[in-house]
Structure 1
Amino acid sequence: MVDKLDIFKIKTNNIAPQKGRILIAEPFLTGNYFNRSVVLLVAHSEKGAVGFILNKKVDFPIHDVFPDFPECDADVYLGGPVSTDSVYYIHKLGERLPGSIHVLDDLYWGGDFEILKRDIKRGMINPQDIRFFLGYSGWDAGQLENELKEDSWLVTDVEPEAVMRDLSESSWVEFVKKAGARYSVWENFPENPLLN
């Protein structure tokens, strides 16, 4: 007998979590942060993983959150439930920000915060080349792997330009479509099937 909910099981396609890949939340994953989220992994090792939610945009600029930060039109997103009172960023500035960590192609994570603020103040940074996050998503050793065994996340590759686009909560569907026909049933599945 075939399990009717097999359509929601994530068939591992030998794509392991690693820096520069994304996690797509399965349709039933609950929680304010991770419900229908797309997470870019910026670090992954046997010690754990760090990532940022790409599709939970907030409606205020970074200088509203941190008044001493220079005005900047770059997008701000909820990065995850850890350290939500701190700001993190991914960017396409590369070595211009000392201490940046290479993630994927021309995408980097972090770097010298004071130099970033100075260059923004001087108008040397294109807002399209940086994205800010309030908080981050973190997993202890083995925690993400356990969530993958529970079919909570689909791991897939991502194009760098897709990461820096203007994303919203509805962008989850776009990433699901790119993951393949196997997951097409997810696209139209209601967030709460009990409300149908």
Structure 2
Amino acid sequence: MNCDDVPFAIHKPCKMAILPHIDPNDNDIPKRADLKKFSNLTHHFLLPSPSMPDERFTDALIYICRHSTDGAWGFMINKPLNASVGGLLHELDLPASQKAMNTPAMHGGFIRPEAGFVIHTGLPEFASSFAVGENVCITTSKDVLSLISGDSLPHFLLCMGFCNWTAGQLEREISEQDWLVCPADLEMLFRAKFEDRVMLAYDKLGINPDKFTLATGFA
């Protein structure tokens, strides 16, 4: 993606473009649809089963922020990048506190890795923002960055890129026992150490992955 394709690009050699406007007609991002005919996994975690065939996800914990009959999308929440949140703020000519400089941005997924999305607590009160679950929102507009810059957003993840599933793809992968599913919680989403998150999700399901016998993806 060229930097000029998003409203908050960095007009240098294209390093990272943060917080693009989400085009509702964009085929990469599923739209809401009738959710009555299947289990909705919005505000759930996906964790890989021991049989996960895609090595990119063998130790990933994914937060599903939208799921419908048109597909699903979410973010890996345990893959910190070498880039800090403060460093990305500086690239956008915004001030950054020491806390922001010490907070890593997350590798959210392999689609649009140059684009940023902020998962945070609170209300969807920004220019481009929507609620995922109780007290959890996704914001993609630049106005949220002023709160991050001023340490006024207590719980957040800045994810670069996202994960996407087409219609029926996630359900098929779960039925093939690639993924396990558990309800999301704020402790794991915002406060747990990144390196502990997969095991905490297994513990939440009462599963020892070393002794796990495949039966079903839903728990």
The interval holding the TM-score normalised by the smaller chain is 0.7 to 0.9
Structure (1 or 2) with the greater helix fraction: 1
The 5-angstrom pairing of residues 98-109 of structure 1 reads 98-109=127-138
The count of aligned residue pairs is 169
- The sequence identity of aligned pairs, in percent, is 22
The 5-angstrom pairing of residues 40-59 of structure 1 reads 40-59=63-82
For normalisation by structure 2, the TM-score amounts to 0.68
| Stretch deviating more after TM superposition (165-174 or 33-42) | 165-174
For normalisation by structure 1, the TM-score amounts to 0.75
Match for residue 80 of structure 1? 109
1:175 aligned counterpart, secondary structure: helix
Match for residue 89 of structure 1? 118
Gaps of 5+ in 2: 1-37, 213-219
Residue type matched to 1:153 in 2?
W
Residue type matched to 2:69 in 1?
E
Q: Distance in 2 between matches of 1:79 and 1:149?
A: 24
Q: Distance in 2 between matches of 1:75 and 1:68?
A: 16
2:82 aligned counterpart, secondary structure: coil
Match for residue 146 of structure 1? 172
CA, structure 1 residues 92+35, in 2 after alignment: closer, same or farther (shift >3 Å)? same
The 5-angstrom pairing of residues 157-168 of structure 1 reads 157-168=183-194
Q: Distance in 2 between matches of 1:68 and 1:164?
A: 24
Q: 1:69 Cα deviation (Å)?
A: 5.4
Q: Distance in 2 between matches of 1:97 and 1:37?
A: 29
RMSD: 2.4
Q: 1:94 Cα deviation (Å)?
A: 1.4
Q: 1:174 Cα deviation (Å)?
A: 1.2
Of 128, 139, 156, which residue of structure 2 is paired with 1:130? 156
Q: Which has the higher contact order (CA 8 A, sep 6+)?
A: 1
